[in-house]
Amino acid sequence: MISSRKNKTLLIDKEAASALELVDDGLLAPVTKLMNEAESQEVLKTGLINGQSFPFPFILAPSGKKNEEIISSLQHGEEVTILCDGEEFATLIVDEIFQIDPNERVKHIYGTDDLSHPGVMATIKRIGKWALSGEYTIINKQENTNKKMIAEVKELIGAQHVTSLVMGANPLHRAHERLIRQTLESTDMLIIFLLKPYDSANLAYEIRKEALEFFINNFLPKNRVVIVGLENSYIFAGYNEIIIDAVVAKNYGCDRLTIGRNHAGLGMFYDCNSNKSIIDRVTGIDIEITVASEYVYCDECKTLVSKNTCPHGQHHQISYHADSILELLEAGILPPAVLIRKEISSFLLSKLFPNRFKNIEKLYYDTFPVKGLLEEHSEKDFYLELMKLYQTTSLT
């Protein structure tokens, strides 16, 4: 084998690298490799791989003038080194190179090539005109321990049914909590795939994970819930997202997938005198897909309810829009407890605004009743006590 130092090199980003790792870990099966041109055309024609739904060809076509020059010059059997962030990520033995249309590629992912669509704009910048296929080997491969962990927990509790939820929890709010509880009621074990996006319009993954762990450890039977981080690469985007979610969940050992009614990929259409969704097009994936209710807060019911069971109109209902709740937090505002649990919003604000106050101890003792003992208090403690004052009703 030729030394990687003498190989031609290709540059890819973390999104492409994560997709290659998913296949290498067996999490996109029946996809097991990069597809050649004939295999790609078959998927485009049928939407199937070995009788199982898969929405678009799995190919590697990195953008950039240098990448395209390198790919177009490669020969069958030649070894090429793939770099990610300047580090050697993988080596690939070239099987075939072929040209693709980037616009057609994004159409198959998003259902449109309209550049005003934020996903289309981001993805089309990443796609080149040349694709290559072949066997690849990831360098310094890190073991994916999640499969083993899930199998161990499943055996430990004797779980017959394993259900998955895919969520960003950006941030974790009351409707997320209700969805998690409702799902857990009808299954033995729940896997929450927590998305790890590549853009900055999100709370950091570790912060979201810690908030979710707090909720699980304090308010759920924690031995029945597992969190798995899921790189939210471009292959999960667009109207085919549910199909990819189902494929990954099945390969992690789940037999059920629950999705929210406002899931981005749940587009409805009318066919043969009945309403259909992308779920009706899923073929050959042995997993039960359930669409959960949409939850709202009703000021007449005075609680969190399903829109399916609340008799009051929208003018009585508060919907849970994560982006708006996040906007409040990013502005430094403590959201009402009806939107987000006070312990979680306090934690998130303390992370978003560390060392926000000049003298937190003075502010704490000047604002809240204390036991007379001098104690250290964190900014999280301060927000928790502040929320209690917000909820005091005798003067309102």
Q: Is 9-138's fold the same as 145-292's?
A: no
Q: Is residue 374 classed exposed, middle or buried when 0-12, 13-18 and 19+ CB atoms within 10 A define those classes? A: exposed
Distance CA 279, CA 247 (A): 12
Distant-in-sequence, close-in-space partners of 33: CB < 8 Å, separation ≥ 6: 23, 58, 133, 134, 135, 136
- pLDDT reported for residue 209: 97
- pLDDT reported for residue 257: 95
Architecture of domain 145-292 in CATH?
A: 3-Layer(aba) Sandwich (3.40)
Q: Are 257 and 164 in contact (CB under 8 A)?
A: yes
Q: How many CA atoms lie within 13 A of 107 on its CB side?
A: 7
Q: Are 165 and 190 in contact (CB under 8 A)?
A: yes
End-to-end CA distance of the chain: 77
DSSP-based three-state secondary structure for 35: coil
Element (H, E) at 251: helix 241-251
Per-residue pLDDT of the chain (396 residues; tens, 9 = 90+): 444 458 899 999 999 999 999 999 999 999 999 999 999 999 999 999 999 999 899 999 999 999 999 999 999 999 999 999 999 999 999 999 999 999 999 998 888 889 888 788 889 999 999 999 999 999 999 888 999 999 999 999 999 999 999 999 999 999 999 999 999 999 999 999 999 987 777 899 999 999 999 999 999 999 999 999 998 888 887 778 889 999 999 999 999 999 877 655 444 333 444 434 556 668 888 999 998 888 999 999 999 999 989 999 899 999 999 999 999 999 999 999 999 999 999 999 999 999 999 899 899 989 988 776 667 889 999 999 999 888 776 665
Q: Are 298 and 315 in contact (CB under 8 A)?
A: no
Distance CA 57, CA 251 (A): 18
Beta-sheet strand order (sheet of 295-298): 303-306, 295-298, 317-319
DSSP-based three-state secondary structure for 9: strand
Class for the domain spanning 9-138:
alpha beta
Question: What is the domain partition of the chain in residue ranges?
Answer: 9-138, 145-292, 297-391
| SS3 assignment for 343-379 | HHHHHHHHHHCCCCCCCHHHHHHHHCCCCCCCCCCCH
Q: Which DSSP string do the residues of 152-182 spell out, in sequence order?
A: HHHHHHT-S-EEEEEE--TT--HHHHHHHHH
Phi, psi at 290, each rounded to 5°: -120, 135
Residue appearing with tokens 């036991």 = 371
Of the candidates 121, 154, 126, the one whose C-alpha atom is nearest the C-alpha of residue 60 is 126
